[in-house]
């Protein structure tokens, strides 16, 4: 089983997810997309799995900083470009296990996901 947790290290929700994985003895590679970058292919996989509207964090400070024009003209291509330029626009954390994608951290979701 290959598990990678994507996020940024100073995000509280990412910290909670990392702490839970560690407590459950689940080995997960951590990928900080602010420090380690993010590839078009990774983002494409998440968007294909979950939809760009789900991956885009509209409650983030980064989203609020976008211009009205950027917000009004959002579509999959423009949203993906913005998320690649500013990874903090991505909801966190993104957990990838054997090509499956889980977004955010909810204890019950993680418990169910790893019970499979």
Euclidean distance between CA atoms 72 and 17, whole angstroms: 33
51 catalytic? Reply is no
| Long-range CB contacts (within 8 A, 24+) of 41-48 | 42/6, 43/80, 43/83, 43/84, 43/90, 44/80, 45/96, 45/99, 45/101, 46/90, 46/94, 46/101, 46/103, 47/76, 47/80
Catalytic residue among 3, 11, 26, 84: 11
Catalytic sites, residue numbers: 11
């Amino acid at each position: 089983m290959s598990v990678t947790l994507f996020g940024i290290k100073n995000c509280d929700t990412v910290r909670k997810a990392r702490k839970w994985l560690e407590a459950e003895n689940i080995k997960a590679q951590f990928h900080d997309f602010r420090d380690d970058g993010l590839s078009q292919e990774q983002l494409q996989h998440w968007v294909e799995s979950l939809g760009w509207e789900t991956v885009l964090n509209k409650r983030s400070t980064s989203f609020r900083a976008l211009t009205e024009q950027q917000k009004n003209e959002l579509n999959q291509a423009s949203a993906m470009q913005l998320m690649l330029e500013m990874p903090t626009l991505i909801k966190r954390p993104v957990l990838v296990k054997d090509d499956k994608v889980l977004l955010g951290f909810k204890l019950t979701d993680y418990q169910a996901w790893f019970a499979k």
